[in-house]
């Protein structure tokens, strides 16, 4: 049992780390504060091939293993979690197209998605359907050789840049069980009736936009039905979300690492009563707990990612990684703020941004309470075991 990265993974992480240290960390706080879109960072991620993380090599992508995939989101989130969102839903959707698309769909989209020439996202959530995806109200009615789509989606990352946008719809609203009537359409966002209606204000997760979109009788060619067969949309979405949870868990590790680094550095520099505060046992206990929990979260994420690489079922493991790592990020952000004292509440230091960013990972890709239910149901039913 080897808990170390391979030489190739280590070299990949070193490259990512240099990129983040040089290009993201110096500008993150100012650009986040002013609401500046990180266009220059996006261009550099294109040059590095990061838009092709989950695109197979035969279509021009990197086709990385899932541990390397997790390293990307860990390192970028260590610098600025919002930037990770730009390639997060893009990567999940690329994987979905690669795994479930027709050959024609793969050839049409994947090579350009891999280079970042075109980008994508994922249109699942609605105002009345987040965790309960079967409760979506967006419909797609077949009219000749086109579907006519009507509905609205919320919290869409890359909404202003994605084209195409995979959107979960009901092609048969009367189907029972409901998931059998659900499909995914690859929608051209330049189509008449497709509107980005508003940007959603957020506590954190700045740098990338989160939008509401309206689909008002948008006509979509029938050959844009993902996989070419109706009724498989729910399965396609859920299989992609397993990768999405590793993405979110990795972001959480990155935020926790940034919080730990900030707390450790500050504790060495700040003096009180003639000593660095790192000399005080209360601070040492916080640092020790943060480091231990951070490393435990990291190993749990790499474990889940390794299982995904083996090709077996990994929904419970990715759920565990997402659950634990996000809770660690939330706690680490708060503890880093406490180590900083009053300065931790100031925008002069990054910990207040980490404190605002951390809660997203407890909510995104399924809330942590849902993760607990997913894990527990499998353990109780005996379909999965631990130890």
What pLDDT, in 10s, does the model give residues 187-228?
A: 999 999 999 999 999 999 999 999 999 999 999 999 999 999
Do both 257 and 362 map to the same domain? Answer: yes
Do the domain assignments include residue 387? no
Q: How many domains does the chain have?
A: 3
Asked, for residue 123, whether it belongs to a domain, the answer is: no
Same structural domain for residues 260 and 361?
A: yes
* 214, 349: one domain: no
- Single residue among 115, 150, 182 that ends a domain in this structure: 115
For residues 283 and 207, state if they share a domain.
no
Residue 204 lies in a domain: yes
Under 8 Å between Cβ of 62 and 90: no
Residues 147 and 252 reside in one and the same domain? no
Regarding whether 146 and 108 lie in a shared domain, the answer is no
Q: Which of 230, 242, 317, 365 is catalytic?
A: 365
Judge if 270 and 375 occupy the same domain: yes
Is 2 among the domain residues? no
Q: Indicate whether 375 and 293 sit together in one domain.
A: yes
What would you report as the CA-atom Rg of the chain, rounded to the nearest whole angstrom? 21
Last residue of one domain, picked from the residues 163, 197, 229:
229
CA dist., res. 29 & res. 21, Å (int):
13
Domain end position, chosen among 229, 255, 284: 229
**Residue scoring higher pLDDT (132 or 96):** 96
Active site residue 23: no
Domain annotation covers residue 110: yes
156 and 59 in a common domain? no
Contact present, 95 and 166 (Cβ < 8 Å): no
Q: What is the pLDDT of residue 278?
A: 98
Rounded mean pLDDT, 172-177: 95
Tell me the mean pLDDT in the region 9-33. 97
Cis peptide bond upstream of 164, omega within 30: yes
- Whether 386 is in a domain gets the answer no
Q: Does the model's pTM come out above 0.85? A: yes
Angle formed at CA 327 by CA 255 and CA 29, multiple of 5 degrees:
25
Query: Over the stretch 132-150, which tens digit does the pLDDT of each residue have?
Result: 899 999 999 999 999 999 9
Q: For residues 241 and 91, what is the distance between their CA atoms, to the nearest angstrom?
A: 11
What stretches of the chain show up as alpha helix (H) in DSSP?
Answer: 7-19, 25-34, 39-47, 66-100, 103-115, 233-269, 281-310, 315-340, 351-363, 368-381
Phi, psi angle pair for 313, to nearest 5°: -70, 130
- Residues 22 and 146 both lie in one domain: no
- For residue 22, the enclosing domain spans 7-115
CA distance 121 to 51: 12
């Amino acid at each position: 049992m080897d808990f170390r990265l391979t030489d190739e993974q280590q070299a990949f992480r070193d490259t990512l780390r240099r990129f983040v240290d040089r290009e993201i960390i110096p500008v993150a706080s100012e650009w986040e504060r002013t609401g500046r879109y990180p266009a220059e960072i996006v261009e550099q991620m294109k040059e590095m091939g990061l838009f092709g993380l989950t695109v197979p090599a035969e279509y021009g992508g990197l086709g990385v293993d899932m541990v390397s995939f997790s390293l990307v989101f860990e390192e970028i989130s260590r610098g600025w979690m919002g930037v990770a969102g730009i390639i997060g839903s893009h990567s999940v959707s690329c994987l979905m197209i690669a795994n479930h698309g027709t050959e024609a769909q793969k050839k049409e989209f994947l090579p350009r998605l891999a280079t970042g020439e075109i980008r994508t996202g994922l249109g699942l959530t609605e105002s009345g359907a987040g965790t309960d995806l079967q409760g979506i109200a967006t419909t797609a009615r077949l009219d000749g050789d086109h579907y006519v789509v009507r509905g609205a989606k919320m919290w869409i990352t890359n909404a202003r840049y994605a084209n195409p946008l995979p959107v979960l719809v009901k092609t048969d609203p009367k189907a029972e069980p409901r998931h059998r009537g659900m499909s995914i359409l690859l929608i051209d966002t330049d189509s008449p009736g497709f509107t980005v209606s508003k940007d959603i204000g957020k506590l954190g997760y700045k740098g990338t936009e989160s939008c509401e979109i309206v689909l008002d009788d948008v006509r979509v060619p029938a050959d844009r039905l993902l996989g070419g067969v109706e009724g498989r949309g729910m399965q396609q979405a859920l299989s992609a979300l397993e990768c999405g949870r590793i993405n979110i868990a990795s972001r959480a590790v990155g935020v926790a690492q940034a919080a730990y680094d900030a707390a450790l550095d500050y504790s060495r520099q700040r003096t009180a009563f003639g000593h660095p505060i790192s000399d005080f046992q209360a601070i040492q206990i916080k640092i020790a707990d943060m480091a231990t929990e951070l490393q435990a979260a990291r190993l749990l994420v790499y474990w889940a990612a390794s299982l995904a690489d083996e090709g077996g079922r990994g929904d419970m493991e990715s759920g565990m990684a997402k659950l634990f790592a996000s809770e660690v990020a939330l706690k680490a952000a708060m503890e880093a703020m406490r180590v900083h004292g009053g300065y931790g509440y100031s925008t002069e230091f990054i910990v207040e941004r980490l404190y605002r960013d951390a809660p997203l990972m407890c909510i995104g890709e399924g809330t942590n309470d849902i993760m607990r239910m997913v894990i527990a149901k499998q353990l109780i039913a005996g379909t999965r075991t631990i130890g």
